[in-house]
Structure 1
């Protein structure tokens, strides 16, 4: 059985067990089965055929999850859309995917209408709540359809940090394999309650946490969004056993004065990813919650995402590492000709396994560039140590070449994170008339802290080679990020003049 079929099967085998918890509402597996089947039945009634695309442009809720599985259950393709994009960016995704139907939040309806894309059906969550009426419509009878391993189940568009976003086609087999892989890697059981505070339209929340917990028959605690006060209250009140956050979220939570008063006896695992977690932050997290394990996760949308993981026993010993290959997964570091490089040498990270995407929608050229001989070329630069653990050095496109010397921004950022006053840091290349480009550091200070650019540069001078030093430091209130928590470095670089 694939994921949509599995959640329906749980609706039969454990109908009374709570599946989703959203605000003050709980849905059991049995209730959820009915709702997912009615969504599938609605689009069947409206004449949709297997393979038709339904866009899911909505924020976090139990309704989002019902739509995600219901669309796929009918043999249709679910296309989650980032709610933080502009109307023109969203319009591109609607048009490129040829989405026939749309499920959206009432507060997002105006933006979706401004895209100009013509849909056959638009279902609104909240407001008039056409979606809610369908969930309750007993006249809708689902007609089961066969789901095939290589059928496209989900199209997820890359963040589009450079150029137009690419539509990553993920098959039912890809998504099921990823659920199995992460369930094993995180020791998930049917007793787990995963608290999801990051966007479900992103592959991390949906495919690394929602699906693996569902695969094991566990429960999901869904928040509309991350809010320090509400997130901590939910952790305590809803008995979560697992929580995922990007490093910035953990930095905010750990700086709260009430963090040590949190009573979470059932919490067993903190997961983090999307950006490097500084040593001091990992150390503080483990000191504050000595009974909770921590685990670093690494992957890309193109591998559903699942590549490597760093487990708790290595958290402080192998700081900066993203760990070892996941089950059923091969990972290696190669040179520009595709040959493996020795430990310590930098190369491109490539991944092979059942979770690697089918390809990019309507883009055979980029697909051929990304997948070669079954290996997915990630675009990430990395190295392994003598124990075989992987370290991300940087994105290939982010590497700075200063007068012929390679500068990896991540290496500079790790030094900046060691400065006690620094909350966040990002380093990008800036044009230079002599050296071609030089590093520039953007710094966000901790609340109530002060630091001068001279002090920042003095610290860097003691820990970095001269050619790696930032040429300039700029202080910001916050760093620009996409919905997955990754820093949008292109937004920090100067606009090139035509």
Structure 2
């Protein structure tokens, strides 16, 4: 089945708005028909199995183009709308793309070869007005590639994660099930759709007949709070920095009641225990889902049910429906309770592989299992805990150190908004630890540095105490909201 038909199976004739907001709205019915027009145009002018670039902030234009590309039997490549020219050139050359849907601001900023056909909002509307619908066969192999999502690669060049129609269908079904989503749900979206977490919000709410409120201005915290209240949002999804900023920078977020808000979801990295505690104390009547996933798994792999948020606070929970997780040790055996090993996943949501990179694909998918690259352990109740990233583990004089453990200690100190632990070359130890700290208030840095080291010396082994503590004024984040670590 084409994922387009799956998503619109029960919602294609709904008159209510799928997109809510002051800037633009669009009903399910209109989105369905507009997307079919784009699909028909692409089927006639492009054919099928062609790679088509999509560069746009969250908008009706993005959604219509994305759905139209999938329905036409072509492959969508959604890119970061702040992408650098070098990355864009690499992706275009690698994927041999000659067609691109692009919003006007990005069209002005980026350069394209003359052989690439660019479709902006204006041309898209023209196509919708003039194009006749044609018959498009939906009965094709569901394991065909639906999209290629590019992520940062270890070599510096981005890797293209190939996601099939089946991958999206499987992951959407699982997420809808454990979040108990219905047509009554409205999600406040601060995550970009070129990011798998953002796309999962789009897929799931379209599937159940829910609605989305697009907020592309998270930097203005008041707009997020206003959207949650005005549009009676039932859900808010974010990465750690979103919640850290809302908790520490907003004067009103924690004191608002948000009567319609049912749940909050967090993924895209570890939200430290101190912030989870602060979030649950501020909203004791809301369901808080801590989740874990990877682009290579379409989006989601595990979740911690809200009822365990206080007893299993730092856990990523258990596998989502229809996914298997296991931890293997250095001997390639299933790890025992509390024994550290690599987390592996298996399910219909696991990617087809990396685009034009068989070697990397074979390194992460072995015998049907996705090797996540994350180190984890499991407790006696079957709950999984991420210990660290294989490539992020720091070795101090031969001893393995997880940055997360040190960050937890420093973040427990009042007036610290954020902390990032990295390493630097050291003649004596090989690697030494550096803590980069962001303060909430104007506090004397020398005194805070001394206090941080005192707390660390009481709670950490000597070799885990930072050798350097530096301060920055603000958290550096990417457009997805994830921290930039330098």
Say whether the fold is shared (TM-score over 0.5).
yes
Q: Distance in 2 between matches of 1:389 and 1:356?
A: 21
How far 1:263 sits from its partner (Å)? Answer: 4.9
Preserved CA contact (<8 Å) 1:41 1:142:
yes
RMSD value, Cα: 1.8
Q: Distance in 2 between matches of 1:139 and 1:290?
A: 51
How far 1:96 sits from its partner (Å)? Answer: 1.4
Q: Secondary structure at the match of 1:459?
A: helix
Q: Distance in 1 between matches of 2:315 and 2:449?
A: 29
| Residue in structure 2 matched with residue 200 of structure 1 by the alignment | 193
Stretch of structure 1 that moved more, 102-111 or 347-356: 102-111
Closer/same/farther in 2, CA of residues 172 and 73 from structure 1, 3 Å limit: same
What are structure 2's unaligned runs of at least 5 residues?
none
How far 1:133 sits from its partner (Å)? Answer: 2.3
Specify which of 288, 292, 304 is matched with residue 294 of structure 1. 288
- How many residue pairs get aligned? The number is 481
Q: Secondary structure at the match of 1:69?
A: helix
Preserved CA contact (<8 Å) 1:56 1:80:
yes
Q: Distance in 1 between matches of 2:199 and 2:311?
A: 30
Q: Distance in 2 between matches of 1:337 and 1:65?
A: 46
Given the two structures, how large is their TM-score scaled by the length of structure 2? 0.95
| Residue in structure 1 matched with residue 171 of structure 2 by the alignment | 178
Preserved CA contact (<8 Å) 1:150 1:172:
yes
Q: Secondary structure at the match of 1:356?
A: coil
Stretch of structure 1 that moved more, 415-424 or 219-228: 219-228
How far 1:132 sits from its partner (Å)? Answer: 2.5
Q: Distance in 2 between matches of 1:104 and 1:272?
A: 29
Residues 57-113 of structure 1 deviation map (CA, whole Å, 9 limit, x = unaligned)? 111112211111111000010000012321111221222122221111111113331
Stretch of structure 1 that moved more, 232-241 or 285-294: 285-294
| Residue in structure 2 matched with residue 284 of structure 1 by the alignment | 278
Residues 408-463 of structure 1 deviation map (CA, whole Å, 9 limit, x = unaligned)? 11111111111112111111121111211011111111144555222111111111
How far 1:181 sits from its partner (Å)? Answer: 0.6
Q: Secondary structure at the match of 1:214?
A: helix
Q: Secondary structure at the match of 2:317?
A: strand
How far 1:130 sits from its partner (Å)? Answer: 1.6
Q: Distance in 1 between matches of 2:198 and 2:319?
A: 20
| Residue in structure 1 matched with residue 323 of structure 2 by the alignment | 329
| Residue in structure 2 matched with residue 496 of structure 1 by the alignment | none
Preserved CA contact (<8 Å) 1:413 1:426:
yes
Specify which of 415, 425, 431 is matched with residue 425 of structure 2. 431
| Residue in structure 1 matched with residue 15 of structure 2 by the alignment | 16
Closer/same/farther in 2, CA of residues 487 and 254 from structure 1, 3 Å limit: closer
Q: Distance in 2 between matches of 1:320 and 1:439?
A: 23
**Which runs of structure 2 are paired with 1:238-277 in the superposition (5 Å)?**
238-255=231-248, 256-260=250-254, 262-277=256-271
Structure 2 residue 153 is matched with structure 1 residue 165: no
| Residue in structure 2 matched with residue 30 of structure 1 by the alignment | 29
Q: Secondary structure at the match of 2:25?
A: strand
